Chain A
């Protein structure tokens, strides 16, 4: 059988048309609502999917070519880094704890983003957004893979990275990023796009990736830096898609505005709460600091985000209300977060420490309103006690927020001496929240959040021990059993950096690399 040869090469525009929307068809023997069952229930009204403006004209074949080129460059650098023992050129072995936090907390979200965009793409009746979601879905699985490959090199030499995927679904603080993404992928396709495509990728991504990637660059971690850069050109595409989604939905029907505004409010806050981990990473965990969390928030959210919301004002979108609360928290967030990990350093899969004197001075200079007054006394007391052999390990489980799942560590807006408590009674049960914003999110969809898998409550229900454990047995040690369930090795993966195996090995190996011993 002869194939009909193409007469002439198609132009870019035609080619794009043929290879994307041209692949779509109108079903004849199935109903549209059976094929796209999730497109209506969120209340978003779309009248004409053809009004979708493709934010980038990329066809699948061109996509593969670009991505393959990026992969080749990336893997060449990762291999060189591994062969040259690049891990020994990081500033200080404390740095590696940021890598642990990233691999256990963030990389699994890349994989979830892959699934989320595949799902959203499948549910949209329009061919334009479907193709864009397909490509982002592939980008995201590539991000997950390149991160795991790049960071696997650290796993050969350091503790705490060996079970990142297992831990992500179980460890108490990892329930914060995990539940954030689970909340997004269990929403409808439109909310997912606003949550991840817009609020996360467009508004907050610079506060997640830029700090990790520039932190890596400042601290000599070439491999993290390289996968960061390799993802950057994808990110530009993701941001464009996120913005296009918002504009498209808002232009389709005026009734969509209040729904979209509520989602923006919700997901800016949900995303910001996850960034608590980034804030403490920037201010406490990077041996060589790039900028403070407060500075990053001011540049990337208050300035850049401020301009964005001014731009969106013509659609009726306003700055999320939570921005006021966040502004009041920016002097406190990282200090309160690191204090929490110092408290529960026995149950974390990375090491903790009290900052050195010069680091405290840096913090005091960056946080003149808060550090010396509220946080230095606490840290200095911990340091004194640790020097006397009385290192503080909090062994009592904390109360958690029902929505963001973070321990109730946040203080009242405007009063850093009082914990912020909020509660709601719903169907004969009480629910507690860290903030007005987490409370509002719950109140809008209580049936969803009463199902939160709160690590502390799950431990007390007996669901977080290795199979076959008898919690009523003689000498039962609940902390030990929970750490076993996490696959976290006591004395190796957790506790102080000072005296850790990581610290000793790094010093020995670096000594071998730089001295004649």
Chain B
């Protein structure tokens, strides 16, 4: 039984893909930079090129950190659901296999936050 109930209790999830006006959710975390208290949630169209995240979205989200300007994106390591993953920047989110509510993280070797504290 997937819920304790007096009768059948099955409904569409509150966050079903169709409720986001054509967007799908993508969560993005930056490893070793906990100045940002938690990973971020974004609604993106699945047709958006992955590179647009780097160019247009992440500067607004993570740009406050002094390490952000020092990132060498060719050396960044990516993870999807915690497993190593390599995105193709020129292809869309869908073509990169990203689905609604996927979570990705990136690590920027050599950059370890404020005074090396992972902040």
Task: Specify whether A and B are partners.
Answer: yes
B-contacting residues, A436-474, CB 8 Å? 445-448, 450-454, 456-457, 460-462
Stretch of B1-9, B45-53, B87-95 that contacts chain A: B1-9
B35 touches A381 (CB 8 A): yes
A423 on the interface (CB 8 Å rule)?
A: yes
CA distance in complex: A516, B102 (Å): 63
B-contacting residues, A4-44, CB 8 Å? 37-38, 41-43
CA distance in complex: A283, B102 (Å): 35
A378 touches B38 (CB 8 A): no
A84 on the interface (CB 8 Å rule)?
A: no
A378 touches B35 (CB 8 A): yes
B81 touches A423 (CB 8 A): yes
A418 on the interface (CB 8 Å rule)?
A: yes
A275 on the interface (CB 8 Å rule)?
A: no
Q: B81 → chain A, closest Cβ, in Å? A: 6
CA distance in complex: A445, B9 (Å): 11
B41 touches A400 (CB 8 A): yes
Q: Which DSSP category, helix, strand, loop or mixed, fits chain A's interface? A: mixed
List chain B residues, Cβ under 8 A from A453: 14
Interchain CB contact (< 8 A) of A457 among B15, B34, B61, B114: B15
Q: What are the interface flags for A375-395 relative to B under an 8 Å C-beta threshold, 1 for contact and 0 otherwise? A: 001100100000000001011
A327 on the interface (CB 8 Å rule)?
A: no
B97 on the interface (CB 8 Å rule)?
A: no
List chain A residues, Cβ under 8 A from B115: 377, 381
A205 on the interface (CB 8 Å rule)?
A: no
Contact of A445 with B4 at beta-carbon distance under 8 Å, contacts A408-B38, A456-B41 already known: yes
A230 on the interface (CB 8 Å rule)?
A: no
Q: A261 → chain B, closest Cβ, in Å? A: 15
Q: B39 → chain A, closest Cβ, in Å? A: 4
B39 touches A377 (CB 8 A): no
B-contacting residues, A308-342, CB 8 Å? 336, 339-340
B55 on the interface (CB 8 Å rule)?
A: no
Pick the most buried of B13, B20, B61, B118: most chain A CB atoms within 10 A of its CB: B13
A-contacting residues, B104-119, CB 8 Å? 105, 113-115, 117-119
List chain A residues, Cβ under 8 A from B43: 460
A-contacting residues, B1-35, CB 8 Å? 2-6, 9-11, 13-16, 19-21, 23, 25, 27, 29, 31-32, 34-35
Complex: chain A residue closest to B101, CB-CB: A430
B117 touches A373 (CB 8 A): yes
CA distance in complex: A336, B36 (Å): 10
A-contacting residues, B29-78, CB 8 Å? 29, 31-32, 34-43, 60-61, 64
Complex: chain B residue closest to A427, CB-CB: B13
Interchain CB contact (< 8 A) of B37 among A187, A381, A409: A409
A421 on the interface (CB 8 Å rule)?
A: yes
B interface, how many residues as a size bin?
35 or more
Q: A120 → chain B, closest Cβ, in Å? A: 15
Interchain CB contact (< 8 A) of A399 among B5, B6, B13, B27: B27
B36 touches A343 (CB 8 A): yes
A83 on the interface (CB 8 Å rule)?
A: no
A340 touches B3 (CB 8 A): no
A306 on the interface (CB 8 Å rule)?
A: no
Contact of A394 with B37 at beta-carbon distance under 8 Å, contacts A187-B4, A447-B2 already known: yes
A419 touches B38 (CB 8 A): yes
Q: B105 → chain A, closest Cβ, in Å? A: 8
Contact of A421 with B37 at beta-carbon distance under 8 Å, contacts A191-B4, A461-B19 already known: no
List chain B residues, Cβ under 8 A from A191: 4
CA distance in complex: A461, B12 (Å): 15
B36 touches A381 (CB 8 A): no
Interchain CB contact (< 8 A) of A450 among B13, B81, B113: B13
Q: B12 → chain A, closest Cβ, in Å? A: 8
Q: 9 closest Cβ contacts across the A-B interface? A: A447-B3, A378-B119, A417-B118, A407-B38, A450-B13, A398-B38, A340-B37, A377-B117, A396-B61
Interface residues of A (CB under 8 A from B): 37-38, 41-43, 187-188, 191, 336, 339-340, 343-344, 373-374, 377-378, 381, 392, 394-400, 407-409, 411, 416-419, 421, 423, 427, 429-432, 445-448, 450-454, 456-457, 460-462
- 18 A-B residue pairings within 8 Å (CB atoms): A37-B6, A41-B5, A188-B4, A339-B37, A394-B36, A399-B27, A408-B38, A409-B38, A417-B34, A419-B38, A421-B29, A421-B105, A427-B13, A429-B13, A429-B15, A453-B14, A457-B25, A457-B41
Query: Given known contacts A421-B39, A427-B13, what 15 new A-B pairs fall within 8 Å (CB)?
Result: A41-B4, A191-B4, A340-B38, A373-B117, A377-B114, A381-B119, A396-B40, A396-B60, A397-B40, A419-B34, A419-B38, A429-B15, A429-B16, A447-B5, A461-B15
